[in-house]
Amino acid sequence: MNNAVHTPCQLLESLNDEQKAAALYSGGPQLIIAGAGSGKTRVLMVKAVLLCTRFSVDPQHILCITFTNKAADEMKKRLASFNVTVTAKTFHAAAMSILNAHGGYLGLKRPIGVYDEQDQLELVKSCMDELHYDKKSINPGSAAEWISRQKDELIEPDAEAVGTERIYHSIYRLYQDKLTASNALDFGDLIMKAVALLKQYPDLCRHYREKYTHLLVDEYQDTNTAQAVLLKLLAGEGKNLCVVGDPDQSIYGWRGANLNNILYFEQSFPDVKIFKLERNYRSTDIILNATNALIKTNRNRRDKTLWTDLKGIHNVISYRVGSDRVEARQVCDLIEQHMENGTPLSEMAVFYRVHSLSRMMEEVMLERAIPYTIVGGLPFYQRKEIKDILCYLRVIVNPDDLIAWKRVLGVPKRGIGEKSIIKINEFAAENVIPFSDALIQCGSVPGVTAKARQGIASVVELVNSFKDEFQSQSWSTALEALLDQLCYQDYVLQNDLPEKAETRLDNIEVFKDALSEYQKEHPDAALADYLENIALRSSIDDWDTASERVSLMSLHSAKGLEFNIVYLIGMEERMLPLIRDIENAEDIEEERRLCYVGMTRAREQLYLFSSNWRSGYGRDIFSKPSRFLMELDPQTLEIRDLAGDREYSQWNKSKGKQRFKRFVEDAVACDEQFADMIDEFAPGDRVYHYDLGSGVIMGGSGAGEKKKYIVLFDGESKPRVVFASYAGLSKMDD
């Protein structure tokens, strides 16, 4: 598509007929079904420009809602080149702005704290301690996930619940009480509270409908029920509502996304007009023919067929290899070949279903000295040293922040034990006072040692003294002084190996620079605004697209990206699709959509890998090819069998498809060890440990107090044995 446009008219003329019709429509609510690579972001941008230039809409009355902060920033940047300044935010950021302005009606005070997933988990653990629930019987991570899903459906705690639900609801109820006491919200609350506010105060709802008369929403297929309700409240009858999405790219059902929002959009907005964008500007016709055949296997979708004028010269190549090490070596061979032919490393990516598959790739890339970066690993702002600093800033801004205080009290060590913190927390609950007030009164709390009282007094005094420091001088200067008083550098050097300590200290310098840069770019912002900005970021927002490295990432992280060459590894049954117990048709369809999303990131070449044997459980496990390979258009595939798998190699363009089909369908029953669960964890699950960071479950054994996990933590060459009773592990998103 032509990007060299300078006026709104030229911008409009750069669109194809389907795009143009969608951009110009102004007759009521509209749904744009936009296939992968069909230029949907461009259509939204043109629509916003035309609303302002052709239809004389004030830009201040336009609200663009995107899936990531990065997408919102890119939208604003593109529109700025046409002197159009609209409000562009994620759903959570839009809800936050509403609550910042009017949350007082619900009893919220500014600044409002925002709890991320780690904070949420720690708060759930605190609730379980207070309720005397056994963490061996009830997993805190599962409880935290359950609470999030309730909020996605706008479900409040239920005092009448029975059975396991009663336990979860009691945790949920106390969890909400503690959030309120901390003047904090989690991500589910942001939407839920905004919905409650607009429902309870119709005049306020009318105010926002008048403020934002035109709503443009991207990635609508990934919205949950609560977000759809919020949009309905803001849009009213939807006269000037435009949503863009693709049911075939809905891949977040496990996180609460409701595919029915886009499949049955007409039920919410009966007068909707539907547009389809089927011309693809990204991939070759060969890649599209392969993936069109794959996704048409799904039943829950809106029919469309992507097409392109881009003629491919390379078939999709499917490798069958003997082992995961051979797989990694073959991928690296191909990367080196493409490097020699002039393809930049930044234009190549390796995708996988679960993060554990990156380990072998990393080993071989290190051996070959191929630069790489892992996208979607532990986010920068979740690293221990950064989280420590953020928690200090949080209690300076919001002294009621319970979870931040708990971290601050223990870093650096001051002789304040967990038992003392529990006693103070119980004292606060009994006397119905904020945790910060209980800290000041710790001398009256039975069971708190003299050493702990002294440590608490010193940290409270330190925090209070720096409230003025961050207002009277630059944030970076105040932070430097704070870290000096904490002797934080000495703390890092004493508690980490030299190499890891150096990395942590380098990260702190990067954080200082980011803090300083934000204050320069936002001279009128308060420190609370910065903390809010950090809390609403996602890991993909911080990814450096210009980095000259091969990108390694999960299929979920690949959403919205594109590369010249894509290598998709681990295409085996029980890996892709990922099946851990009984098959569910809806889950298989989402796995197929996930595979489709990964494949449609490729512009020129697509390589698919499956392996006979894959290491896991401390041994090699036989794997059969993914059923999704069979569902691709065989006319677009070139099979390269490096494993001597005669049954697989006999499936080709001209014969053997039914034989291959039987071979793949047998995989549902293959090696039941692959489906074994260790509590709520399975080998390959990505987990987070409060002290050790993120890692991958390799296996486990035992029961009760002897139950243990084998975990390979990031940056370590050997796995650790972590006993379940002390594990403190929580499951991370794939």
**92-104 pLDDT tens trace:** 999 999 999 999 9
Residue 709's pLDDT band (cuts 50, 70, 90): confident
Provide mean pLDDT across the span 506-528.
Answer: 90
Task: Please give the pLDDT value at position 689.
Answer: 67
Bridge-based pairing of strands 348-352 and 686-689 is unpaired
As a whole number of angstroms, the distance between CA 294 and CA 636 comes to 12
Structure tokens that stand for 343 in this block: 């393809």
User: Is 3 part of a structural domain of the chain?
Assistant: no
As a whole number of angstroms, the distance between CA 8 and CA 53 comes to 7
Strand partners, 652: none
Residue 723's pLDDT band (cuts 50, 70, 90): low
79 and 129 share a domain?
no
Task: Please give the pLDDT value at position 694.
Answer: 72
* pLDDT tens digits, one per residue of 200-245: 999 999 999 999 999 999 999 999 999 999 999 999 988 899 999 9
**What ranges in 236-296 are assigned the alpha helix state H?**
260-263, 265-268, 285-295
Identify how many contiguous H helices and E strands the chain contains and give both numbers. 29, 21
Structure tokens that stand for 187 in this block: 């991500």
Please write down the long-range contacts of 515-521, taking CB distance under 8 Å and 24 or more positions apart.
515/475, 515/476, 515/479, 516/474, 516/475, 516/476, 519/474, 519/475, 519/476
User: Is 711 part of a structural domain of the chain?
Assistant: yes
Task: Please give the pLDDT value at position 637.
Answer: 94
Q: Which of 594, 514, 612, 522 is CA-nearest to residue 558?
A: 594
For the ranges 22-36, 671-685, 688-702, the lowest mean pLDDT is seen at 671-685
User: Is 664 part of a structural domain of the chain?
Assistant: no
- Check whether 670 has a pLDDT greater than 50: no
168 and 208 share a domain?
no
364 and 328 share a domain?
yes
User: Is 528 part of a structural domain of the chain?
Assistant: yes
Residue 721's pLDDT band (cuts 50, 70, 90): confident
Domain final residue, candidates 182, 216, 235: 182
Domain final residue, candidates 518, 536, 554: 536
Residue 536's pLDDT band (cuts 50, 70, 90): confident
566 and 445 share a domain?
no
175 and 207 share a domain?
no
* pLDDT tens digits, one per residue of 436-445: 899 999 988 8
Q: Are the CB atoms for 621 and 674 separated by under 8 Å? A: yes
Q: Are the CB atoms for 92 and 191 separated by under 8 Å? A: yes
* pLDDT tens digits, one per residue of 172-198: 999 999 999 999 999 999 999 999 999
Strand partners, 275: 32
- Check whether 675 has a pLDDT greater than 70: no
Q: How far is CA 478 from CA 64, 261, 527, in A?
A: 36, 47, 11
User: Is 106 part of a structural domain of the chain?
Assistant: no
409 and 523 share a domain?
yes
Percent of the chain with pLDDT strictly greater than 90: 58
Bridge-based pairing of strands 348-352 and 550-554 is parallel
- The sign of the dihedral angle between the CA atoms of 602, 607, 608, 611 is negative
Task: Please give the pLDDT value at position 669.
Answer: 32
421 or 18: which leads in pLDDT: 18
Task: Please give the pLDDT value at position 514.
Answer: 87
3-state secondary structure 487-541: CHHHHHHHHCCHHHHHHHHHHHHHHHHHHHHHHHHCCCCCHHHHHHHHHCCCHHH
Q: Are the CB atoms for 576 and 629 separated by under 8 Å? A: no
Provide mean pLDDT across the span 614-618.
Answer: 67
Q: Are the CB atoms for 33 and 274 separated by under 8 Å? A: yes
463 and 389 share a domain?
yes
* pLDDT tens digits, one per residue of 542-591: 556 657 899 999 999 999 899 999 999 999 988 999 876 556 889 999 99
Residue 433's pLDDT band (cuts 50, 70, 90): confident
Which CATH number characterizes residue 426's domain? 1.10.486.10
For the ranges 303-317, 339-353, 600-614, 695-709, the lowest mean pLDDT is seen at 695-709
Q: Which of 467, 460, 472, 341 is CA-nearest to residue 409?
A: 460
| CB half-sphere exposure, 641, CA atoms < 13 A | 11
Catalytic positions are 40-41, 218-219, 249, 601
Residue list for the binding site for ATP:
34-41
SS3 state at 475: helix
236 and 208 share a domain?
yes
Count of domains for the chain? 5
User: Is 605 part of a structural domain of the chain?
Assistant: yes
Task: Please give the pLDDT value at position 327.
Answer: 95
Structure-token match 């595979």, residue found? 595
CA 460 from centroid of its chain's CA atoms: 34
Percent of the chain with pLDDT strictly greater than 70: 88
Task: Please give the pLDDT value at position 685.
Answer: 77
* pLDDT tens digits, one per residue of 354-390: 888 888 999 899 999 999 998 876 677 888 899 999 9
CA 593 from centroid of its chain's CA atoms: 17
175 and 76 share a domain?
no
Cα-Cα end-to-end distance for the chain: 33
Task: Please give the pLDDT value at position 382.
Answer: 82
For the ranges 210-224, 410-424, 661-675, the lowest mean pLDDT is seen at 661-675
E strands along 16-98, which residues? 30-34, 62-66, 87-90
As a whole number of angstroms, the distance between CA 151 and CA 336 comes to 47
Task: Please give the pLDDT value at position 674.
Answer: 31
Which CATH number characterizes residue 560's domain? 3.40.50.300
- Check whether 65 has a pLDDT greater than 80: yes
**Residue 731: which H helix or E strand, with range?**
strand 729-731
Task: Please give the pLDDT value at position 619.
Answer: 62
For 698, phi and psi rounded to 5 degrees? -100, -25
Q: Which amino acid type is present at position 649? A: S
Structure tokens that stand for 499 in this block: 């190499």
Which CATH number characterizes residue 127's domain? 1.10.10.160
Which CATH number characterizes residue 702's domain? 2.40.10
Residue 428's pLDDT band (cuts 50, 70, 90): confident
For residue 173, give every residue at least 6 positions away whose Cβ sits within 8 Å of its Cβ, in sequence order, or none. Answer: 157, 159
State the chain's mean pLDDT as an integer: 87
Domain limits for position 74: 8-99+191-279
Residue 657's pLDDT band (cuts 50, 70, 90): very low
Q: Which of 314, 220, 319 is CA-nearest to residue 274?
A: 220
636 and 546 share a domain?
yes
What is the 8-class DSSP label of residue 157?
A: P
Residue 340's pLDDT band (cuts 50, 70, 90): very high
As a whole number of angstroms, the distance between CA 173 and CA 186 comes to 14
Task: Please give the pLDDT value at position 716.
Answer: 64
Residue 672's pLDDT band (cuts 50, 70, 90): very low
Task: Please give the pLDDT value at position 659.
Answer: 34
Q: How far is CA 661 from CA 337, 635, 652, 666, 671, in A?
A: 33, 16, 12, 9, 18
User: Is 64 part of a structural domain of the chain?
Assistant: yes
Give the global pTM.
0.80
For residue 296, give every residue at least 6 positions away whose Cβ sits within 8 Å of its Cβ, in sequence order, or none. Answer: none
What size, in residues, is the chain?
734
Structure-token match 């302002």, residue found? 52
3-state secondary structure 538-603: CHHHHCCCCCCCEEEEECCCCCCCCEEEEEECCCECCCCCCCCCCCCHHHHHHHHHHHHHHHCCEE
Q: Are the CB atoms for 295 and 590 separated by under 8 Å? A: no
725 or 434: which leads in pLDDT: 434
388 and 491 share a domain?
yes
Q: Which of 51, 376, 397, 89 is CA-nearest to residue 242?
A: 51
Structure-token match 């006993």, residue found? 723
User: Is 546 part of a structural domain of the chain?
Assistant: yes
**What ranges in 398-442 are assigned the alpha helix state H?**
402-410, 418-431, 435-440
Classify 574 in phi/psi space as left (phi over 0), alpha (psi -120 to 50) or beta.
left
Domain final residue, candidates 140, 155, 182: 182
631 and 557 share a domain?
yes
